Structure 1
């Protein structure tokens, strides 16, 4: 089994990719026992800040137009947890509007002239 796998991997993953023998054997045994190589569920501290209830509360707060600080105080959730909920659960990211100048029709001629001047300068 190990030799079969190590012969096919360099062709598919590249010459410098090395798998340890123990990794291949452990993965194979895991697959044979469970029918999958997905990670097992782990015990541990449950998520409290990003619970489904908090995600819904934060969603409602932002639909109403509240800021992160306002939502944190009102919902009694930390600012960090609200930021994580917005980014990881609701897929919302900070956005800062940038004010730029509007180009007028006469600006195009000036820009073209400046580009030509710079081109001649650096030739």
Structure 2
């Protein structure tokens, strides 16, 4: 019990072994094999597995093997039918540009974005030096307020931004009715100074965008020039 209280382990650590710090060809080869077997393992776990100091392992990875640590990227999930739809769009766009090299300059690319208004605290970078734990807490709301903004981009510039708010001026999310109000009260008026007959309108497949009432409203301005 005394050993456990002192060392937090029951292993005999009377003569602890130091981890390897030498960067020999044999050690470098062992690290290379380890990376080939599992490139996702952290430096700390790999160092423990190879009985090696983390700093030595880092030098081998960076200086001897010339490797870098890359972060994964989060991208939008594609459903099976999305691949065919994207291919069709790509072929359609290529044909349009082949007929008119400036075709892409007449497409209005539009979308909404959400901006969270409660701020963000990075716990990994926030440290408080003190003799005792100050027990500092930062309260975050269960449903933080956010602002939904719409805009359209094209070769002629930017149309927007448009902020979705209710009659009381409060921030609201977008739905079909609010999206159509934006089109009628804001978007169409912004197009008055442009030759709409030459423009195409692009939007994603959100329900409020593809509702029949929305498409019918957009066709009043763009006809069938909706992507």
Task: Give the alignment's TM-score, normalised by structure 2.
Answer: 0.26
Question: Which structure's residues are more often helix, by fraction?
Answer: 1
